[in-house]
Amino acid sequence: MMSIAALVYEILFLLSLFISSSFAQSCSSNDTACLQACDIPSLSEYSIWTVNSSEDLDNLTPQGCNWINASISIGANYSGQFVLDGIRVITGQIASNGFTHESLQNVSAIIMPDLLTLECLFVRDTANLLSISMPSLQNVTTLELQISGPTALEFNSLTYASNIIISGPVGDIYFQSLANVNSSLEISSSDTFEDLSAYGYNTSNVFPPLSLRFPFLVNATGIDISGNISEIYMPNLAIAENGHLTNGIVIETYGVPIDVSFPKLDTLQDMVLAGTMKGVSFPSLQNVPGHIAIESVTPVSLNLSSLVNVTGIAIDGNVTGVFLPSLKNITTLSIFSKLPLSCTPTQKIFESIRQSTTGYDCSSSDTSSHLSTGDKVGIGIGSAAAGSMILACLSYFYLRRKRNQNVVKERTNEHELQDRGGRPIYHEDDYPPEYSSRAGTDIGSTHSDETIVEDAGDRRTATASAEEGRTTE
More confident site: 390 or 213: 213
pLDDT attached to residue 443: 25
Measured distance between the N- and C-terminal CA atoms of the chain, rounded to whole angstroms: 38
Contact 296, 319 (CB under 8 A): yes
**Quick check: pTM over 0.75?**
no
Residue 149 contacts residue 122 (beta carbons within 8 Å): no
- Tell me the mean pLDDT in the region 174-185: 95
- Is residue 261 in some structural domain? no
Amino acid 64: pLDDT: 75
Residue 74 lies in a domain: no
At residue 228, the pLDDT reads: 92
| Distance (Å, whole) CA 50 – CA 254 | 40
Window from 112-116, 332-336, 448-452 with minimum mean pLDDT: 448-452
SS (H, E, C) 130-180: CEEECCCCCEEEEEEEECCCCCEEECCCCCEEEEEEEECCCCEEECCCCCE
| Within-domain flag for 330 | yes
At 229-257, the pLDDT tens digits run 999 999 999 999 765 556 799 999 988 99
Ramachandran class of 430: left when φ > 0, alpha when ψ lies in -120 to 50, beta otherwise: beta
Mean pLDDT in residue range 460-473: 44
In whole angstroms, give the CA distance from residue 371 to residue 383.
Answer: 15
Q: In angstroms, what is the C-alpha Rg of the chain?
A: 25
204 within some domain: no
Q: So what's the pLDDT on residue 49?
A: 84
Work out the pLDDT band at 192, boundaries 50, 70, 90: low
- pLDDT over threshold 50, residue 465: no
Return the half-sphere exposure (C-beta side, CA atoms, 13 A cut-off) of residue 447.
Answer: 8
- Which pLDDT score, from 0 to 100, does residue 205 have? 52
Residue 144 domain-assigned?
no
Confidence of residue 264 (pLDDT cuts 50, 70, 90): very high
d(CA 59, CA 46) in angstroms, rounded, equals 19
pLDDT tens per residue across span 64-111:
788 988 899 898 889 999 999 889 999 999 988 655 566 778 899 999
Rounded to 5, what percent of the chain is helix, strand, coil? 20, 35, 45
Query: What residues contact residue 56 under an 8 Å CB cut-off, 6+ apart?
Result: 50
Strand boundaries in 270-402, DSSP class E? 270-281, 287-303, 309-323, 332-337, 360-363
Q: Please compute the mean of the pLDDT values over residues 402-424 and round it to a whole number.
A: 30
Q: Which amino acid is at 192?
A: T
Task: Determine, yes or no, domain membership for 446.
Answer: yes
pLDDT at 185 over 90: yes
Paired strand residues for 277 = 258
Range of the domain at 367: 270-405+425-453
**Domains held by the chain: number:** 1
Give the pLDDT score at 255. Answer: 86
Where does the pLDDT of residue 226 fall: very low under 50, low under 70, confident under 90, or very high at 90 and above? very high
On whether residue 17 sits in a domain, the answer given is: no
Comparing 152 with 63, which gets the higher pLDDT? Answer: 152
How would residue 124 be classed by pLDDT, with cut points 50, 70 and 90?
confident
Instruction: Find out whether 70 and 46 touch, Cβ atoms under 8 Å.
Output: no
Q: Is the pLDDT higher at 366 or at 331?
A: 331
The answer to the question of residue 392 being in a domain is yes
Q: Is pLDDT of 43 > 60?
A: no
